Amino acid sequence: MTHSWDLVVIGGGSGGLACAQRAARYGARVLVAEPAALGGTCVNVGCVPKKLMYHAADVAHALGDAADYGFALEGARHDWAALKASRDAYVERLRGIYADNLAASGATLIRARARIADPGRIEIDGATHATGHVVIATGSRPIVPAVPGAEAGVTSDGFFTLEARPASVAIVGGGYIAAELSGVFAALGSRVTVAFRGERMLRDFDQMLSERLAAAMRADGIEIAGRAQPAGLERTAGGLVLRLEDGGSLGPFDCVIWAIGRKPNVEGFGLAEAGVALGPDGEVVTDLMQDSNVAGIHAIGDVTRRAELTPVAIAAGRRLADRLFGGQPDRHLDYRLIPTVVFSHPPIGTVGMSEDEARAAWGDAVEVFRHDFMPLYHGITARRRRAEVKLVTTGKERRIVGLHAIGMGADELLQGFAVALRLGATKRDFDDTVAIHPTSAEELVTLPG
């Protein structure tokens, strides 16, 4: 028996579900195929549970600062198992909400793996499904290095399965996942080492952010080991020892977490057989309309390796549905000026070009305005954590092409400023905006120059 659909979405993560629901509300007959938990990486092993762990670390820092605000606290201790239980219960509720929302939209969900038999035909559990359009939204998974003993470590996904907090942990990687997990472990009491092969943390971010974050991490007791290329992981009587290519070693540790990147999930979906072009890292190659090289086959989210962020996948999916079923033939996602936040301690907010990128594009036409300051919260705390903001501008009008902030509140202040950059704001526009005092956000509209 052959079933007929207007759209089949392969993958039930945030992007796939957003696309499916929008298309179904336009009246399209929509099928979603997903054998695993709904919500994908973000809901299950990413944004949501990670942010809850970030909040736990924030509470730990606040407890440490409490005496400076006149509170007498005694005997405070942290129960990792209790936090994990609360976190996991919240995630489980979210999965139910995702399923309810999908059903309410009119889309159909099949809890099975789908495979493209040809561009207009999908096979699921032995049944054939005809469709006008297919969306590949299968996400990505953590990379485990091909070194001896790597299986003794866990990935960033495995972080969420830990039943107890390790007393000592090594996080291998220099990206935002390593920055975020290291802050959580350190705040909750673990001895933390971060090891990465490059010169600095967050090498794809503005250098100011990298330098300020590294200083804050060291102040929190985190050991940072740059230019450390792993050659193997060895289990010894004292714990896990990370062997390095230069002959050195780090450890021993109770736990080692691989956070060296992710790769697209493209295997087993029939993409090669359908003639879908893949990029050098295995990603589905798409144009600005989210179309692959095969008519009727589209891709969104991490499987395309374009701005691998949950809100990006959601936005791309909704716009694709608008174009295919909503009568908006030119609708697509603009990938420029996408804001992003690193939930490190302290948090980072950034949108637009780094200073180096801007100078490469415009040379001497670039002007930079930056200021470091002490947030008022830390005005009376023994724990001193300075913050810093930076504007990157170009041309006589000083149009802002990059905005970067690190420090308390940097995550929340970014959203509104990202809107301003999309509207073409200039330094003068910021100067003419009345500041809200006392806040960290006001530092961006009171920069001298």
Catalytic site positions: 437
Task: For residue 347, say if its preceding peptide bond is cis, omega within 30 degrees of 0.
Answer: no
Backbone angles phi, psi at 300, to 5 degrees: -140, 160
Distance CA 354, CA 436 (A): 26
Task: For residue 142, say if its preceding peptide bond is cis, omega within 30 degrees of 0.
Answer: no
Chain CA centroid to CA 168, Å:
25
Residue 134 identity (one-letter amino acid): V
* Strand duo 108-110 + 30-33: pairing: parallel
Q: Are 19 and 10 in contact (CB under 8 A)?
A: no
Chain CA centroid to CA 279, Å:
21
Q: Quick one: tokens of 168?
A: 């000592």
Q: Which helix (H) or strand (E) holds 418?
A: helix 410-422
Q: In what order do the strands lie in the sheet with 230-236?
A: 230-236, 239-244, 249-253
Q: Residues 397, 402, 405, 410: is their CA dihedral positive or negative? A: positive
Distance CA 391, CA 399 (A): 10
Q: Which helix (H) or strand (E) holds 312?
A: helix 310-325
End-to-end alpha carbon distance in the chain: 71
Q: Are 162 and 156 in contact (CB under 8 A)?
A: no
Q: Quick one: tokens of 51?
A: 């942010």
Backbone angles phi, psi at 346, to 5 degrees: -80, 165
Q: Are 309 and 338 in contact (CB under 8 A)?
A: yes
Q: Are 389 and 351 in contact (CB under 8 A)?
A: no
Cβ neighbours for 297, distance < 8 A, ≥ 6 positions apart: 116, 119, 133, 134, 136, 274, 276, 291
- Nearest in space to 114 (alpha carbons), one of 105, 101, 127: 127
Instruction: Report, in angstroms and rounded to the nearest whole number, the Rg of the chain calculated over CA atoms.
Output: 24
